[in-house]
Structure formats: C-alpha cells, structure tokens
Amino acid sequence: MSIRLEMLQVARLATKVLGESAALVESFVRSKQNADGGFSDRDGHSDLYYTSFAIDALTALQVELPTEALRGYLETQGTGEGFDFVHLCCLARCWSAIERNHASVPGTLANIEKFRTASDGGYNQSPDAETGSAYGAFLAYGAYSDHLLTPPETERLSGSLSALLDDEEGAWANDREIPVSNVPATAAAVTLYRNLRLPVPGNTAEWILGCLHEQGGFTPFPGAPMPDLLSTGVALHALDGLQIPLQGIREICLDFIDTLWTAEGGFFGTWDDELLDLEYTYYGLLALGHLSL
C-alpha cells in the first residue's frame, strides 16, 4: 500500500468525529480551488503543494473530486522540468489520485532522481546537498509508492535514514546539517522504516510521547513552547503505526484540535496562526481520524 493511501485510510475516519461539520470542511476546501483547476496557497495562487493536500482532504471526506478541472491543471505542469523537489513529488502525488498511469509520470520520477544525494543515496530538497534528509526520503518514497513503485537502491536510502537516527533518544533529525531530533522527521522515519521492514528502536514511542504538550497536541521537539497541528497529526500516525494505544491522550488531543477549528471549515496550524490553509486542514483530518479509533 502507498504511504498516501495508508494515511488516507485513517483520515477518512475523521468524519466520525466531525459529523455534520464535515460539510463545512468540504466547503472550505472547495472554496480554495481556482479557475485553472489548481488549489490555492496562502496568497491565493494555484500551487501543487496545496493542491495535493486539497485532493487528500476531499478524498478523506469521501466526496467527489473535481477530476476534470484537476486534470486540466496538472496537464499544464508537464513532467515538472525545472521544478523544486517538493513540487515534483507533489506533482507525482496528484497524478496518483487522478490518473496513476499518466504519460508524464515516468518523466516526473526521473526528475525526482536528480535530487538523489550521491554520497549516501538519500534524497534532499536542497539540490546541492551532500547527504539526504528524512523529509526528502519521505516525499520521494511516497511519490514512488503512490504509483505502486519503489525507489531504486532502497538499501542506500535505508542507510541515509539510519545516519539521522540518535540511538540514545530513538528519534531522528531531519538532516545532518542540524542534528536535532524532531517529531516530523521521526514520524517520517517511522513510516519509512515500517514500509522498508526495518526495526524501529524500542524507545522511539517514548520519545514521541515526551513531546505531548500539557494542553494537548504535540510539539515539534521536547520542551518547545507550543504544539502544532502538523506535529500532532504525524505524531499520532507514528504512534498508531507502532501500535501504541491512544486512548490515554485522546481527550486532551481532541481538546487541542478543537481550539484550532473554525466555523469556516478549516483548521489553523497553531494558536498563533492567523490564516487557514489546506495543509493544516488535512493534518486536522488525519489527527481526528486517529483519535476516532
């Protein structure tokens, strides 16, 4: 199963918590679609990154995708020649939801390979990076798995990820430039380790739980002052993947998510956030899906 579908299976359960409010979320997501068929970023411009989250949010809500409009937008993107790494991976991800065997996909995957780091076989969103990042590995592996493929030389990809692991903490840094363990990188690594059938350290779950904020939600690293919805969604996904029961933290996390919910149907990313966007709305659905179990 692809990483995308694995997460969507859970995100679909968010409707059990949302009830009738699911219609508000759908309305918010659809309101972000532009005339060219793409979905808007925070400045209102169509963007593949936000379009991928819109597609997944609508899929999670189990409503019809605006397939033809999306296809028209994606056709204008070609194979992503000259795109940055993140947008290349998002282009592949979007096509997997619309037309998995589209003729542009092999070219897009070939362009993703240009971001392979020669020294360790990982992937990095920075084109001049010497070594891979956890985020890069997650996006690249996801782009391939969305099309029922695996990246070439996965054993080298595994080695790149292992180099980012702090054995004492059981947590991962995103890259070697800033060797600080954090929740998004650790959650990405946990998902990849499970897909690659690698053993996850026994203390990883404890480290993630150590990032639970006293008012609910997860912070990006222990002691950070504020939880955020991205860290919360991916932390819950990682813990569930490690078969850690979530009942003991369910209510406090639901309370946190409720503080970020708006009657417009979208979710803020943090308590300080002033703009709603599609990315955090998707992570809200992912987190609610895990907490509905």
Residue 124: pLDDT over 90: yes
Q: How far apart are CA 106 and CA 73, in angstroms?
A: 18
pLDDT > 70: what percent of the chain? 100
State the residue range of the domain holding 43. Answer: 3-291
Distances (CA, A) of 191 to 3, 239, 262: 8, 10, 30
Q: What is the pTM of this model?
A: 0.97
How would residue 50 be classed by pLDDT, with cut points 50, 70 and 90?
Answer: very high
Q: What is the pLDDT of residues 3-18, one digit of tens each?
A: 999 999 999 999 999 9
Number of domains composing the chain = 1
Location of structure tokens 């990032």: 211
Report whether 6 contacts 146 (CB < 8 A). no
Q: How far apart are CA 66 and CA 54, in angstroms?
A: 11
| Residue 111 main-chain phi, psi, to 5 deg | -70, -35
In this predicted structure, what is the pLDDT of residue 122?
Answer: 98
Q: What is the pLDDT of residues 239-275, one digit of tens each?
A: 999 999 999 999 999 999 999 999 999 999 999 999 9
Report whether 173 contacts 179 (CB < 8 A). yes
Instruction: Supply the CATH number for residue 38's domain.
Output: 1.50.10.20
pLDDT > 90: what percent of the chain? 98
In this predicted structure, what is the pLDDT of residue 79?
Answer: 98
